[in-house]
Amino acid sequence: MMKMILRRLASSCLSLFILVALVFFLAHLTPGGPAYSILGQKATPESVAQLNQRLGLDQPLLKQFGLWIWHLLHGELGYSYLLNRPVGQLLWVYERNTLIFYTVSIIISTALSIALGLIQGVWFGRWPAKLIGAFQLGFYALPPFFVAAMLILWFAVDVHWLPASGIIDLRDPHAGIASFAAHLVLPVTTVSLLTVSSLSRYFGEAVHEELGKDYVRTARAKGVSFASILFRHVMRNALRPLITILGLSFPYIFTGGVIVESVFNYPGLGWLMWRSALSQDYPILIAIVLVIGVLTVLGNLLADLVNGLLDPRASYE
């Protein structure tokens, strides 16, 4: 087991390295550069060259990359060009916001997916399942920013029940837990609507499939009630594919999250990433890619570990 984890982490390091390298070179090869963002579009070529030299941007790319990796190995992620603060320090605040946002979203979407999927699996092919299926397809097809915009229009602009955006910082003394929670409602709803639409469908199909298996007939032949069959036998086996899918859809959830965070002005990693990309603040951008990559790897690993606990046949040799 331990060996499996270590092996997985080792192979993930390689993937992460490739990912980071790719983003590093792509970002540095885009025209313009951070100097223009800092000095303004009208900056003279001389001042730009001077600044580039100070930031080390005039060095060969390969050397810059080597330097970045060297710093990373020493636990440093560099300085933000624009905000002039260590990236590590900056990231932490946003990362915390993002973690809260995703954890809440994933818990809510999983719970909802299980509930809907059970209904769909049990009444497969009949009207309750068909009704849910129609909604799943609808939401699955919608782009995240559209859902976000609609939610803002209804709940924030029309009825003023919930704030559309504007949470600035968790450390703001005026922003209590209640206000923070209120700010979370719409982004979490957006992400959940989108993930639930596909997750619940997978789970519903898994439940339906499990219900058709021979061991269910065996359980019925023992006199076990339907509810017990569903919760003691079927649930656990049907959860396995759900968790695998959840693990695999982390990158998808994160990319959806970037858009959702930006639309709702929610100060998380996605939002920061969007900003840094616009201003070509490379150190932040690359650090965020790294963090999201690590989160994805860990999420996947967690999914596999949970699956291993659920499935006695999985053996890690």
Partner 1 sequence: MNAVLEIKNLSVTLKRGGRDVTILDQLNLRIAPGEMQALVGESGSGKTIAALAIMRLLPPGAAITGEILLNGENLAAAVEPRMRQVRGKSVAMVFQNPLAALNPSRTIAAQIGEAWRVHQGGSAAQARARALELLDEVGIPDPKNRLNDYPHQFSGGMRQRVMIAMSLACSPHLLIADEPTTGLDPLIAQQIMTLIARLRRERDMAVLFVTHDLSVVQEHADSIHVLYAGRSVEWGAAAAFFQHPRHPYSEALLGSVARLGQARLRNIPGNLPEPEQRPPGCRFAPRCAYASAVCSTAYPPADAQGATLAACFHPLPRTARPAFAETLAPRPARNFAPLLDVTDLGVRYRGAGGWFGAARRLPPSLAEVSFRLGRGECLGVVGESGSGKSSLGRAVLQMIEYDGQVTLDGHDFHAMAGRAKRDLRRKIQVVFQDPRESMNPRMTIGEVIAEPLRLRGGLNNAARRARVEALLGQVGLNPEMAARHPGDVSGGQAQRIAIARALAAEPELIVLDEPTSALDVSTQAMLLNLLKDLSLKHALSYILISHDFAVVSYMSDRIAVLNAGRIVEMNETAALLSAPRAAYTRALIGAAPQLQPMQA
Least CB distance to partner 1 at residue 224 (A):
6
- Other residues' Cβ atoms within 10 Å of the Cβ of residue 71: 14
Least CB distance to partner 1 at residue 18 (A):
17
Give the residue from 97, 111, 284 showing the smallest Cα distance to 203.
111
**What's the chain's Rg over C-alpha atoms?**
24
Least CB distance to partner 1 at residue 285 (A):
32
Candidates 15, 56, 236, 294; binder of partner 1 (CB under 8 A) is 236
Site string for partner 1, 194-213 (x = CB under 8 A): -------------------x
Least CB distance to partner 1 at residue 217 (A):
6
310 binds partner 1 (CB under 8 A): yes
Q: Are 299 and 247 in contact (CB under 8 A)?
A: yes
Candidates 179, 237, 244, 265; binder of partner 1 (CB under 8 A) is 237
Between 8 and 28, CB nearer to partner 1: 8
CA 123 → CA 4, 203, 240, distances in Å? 39, 13, 21
Candidates 42, 44, 141, 317; binder of partner 1 (CB under 8 A) is 317
Give the residue from 283, 292, 270, 273 showing the smallest Cα distance to 82.
283
Site string for partner 1, 154-193 (x = CB under 8 A): ----------------------------------------
For partner 1, the binding residues in 97-136 under the rule CB under 8 A are none
Between 193 and 211, CB nearer to partner 1: 211
Number of residues near partner 1 (by CB under 8 A): 24
CA distance 282 to 34: 8
- Would you mind telling me the total number of residues written for the chain in this entry? 317
Between 216 and 287, CB nearer to partner 1: 216
Least CB distance to partner 1 at residue 128 (A):
16
Helix/strand/coil for 137: helix
Least CB distance to partner 1 at residue 219 (A):
7
Q: Contact region for partner 1 (CB under 8 A) — 71-79, 178-186, 214-222, 288-296?
A: 214-222
Give the residue from 157, 137, 141, 139 showing the smallest Cα distance to 149.
157
Query: In whole angstroms, what separates CA 35 from the centre of its chain?
Result: 31
Q: Long-range CB contacts (< 8 A, 24+ apart) of 28-36?
A: 28/61, 28/64, 28/282, 29/61, 30/280, 32/280, 33/57, 33/280, 34/81, 34/82, 34/279, 34/280, 34/281, 34/282, 36/280
Burial of 287 (C-beta count, 10 Å sphere; 0-12/13-18/19+)? buried
Q: Nearest 5 degrees, angle CA 166-CA 172-CA 175?
A: 65
Between 75 and 223, CB nearer to partner 1: 223
Candidates 233, 273, 281, 285; binder of partner 1 (CB under 8 A) is 233
311 binds partner 1 (CB under 8 A): yes
Between 158 and 214, CB nearer to partner 1: 214
Between 118 and 186, CB nearer to partner 1: 118
CA distance 58 to 68: 14
16 binds partner 1 (CB under 8 A): no
Give the residues lining the site for partner 1 (CB under 8 A): 7, 11, 213-215, 217-225, 228, 232-233, 236-237, 310-313, 317
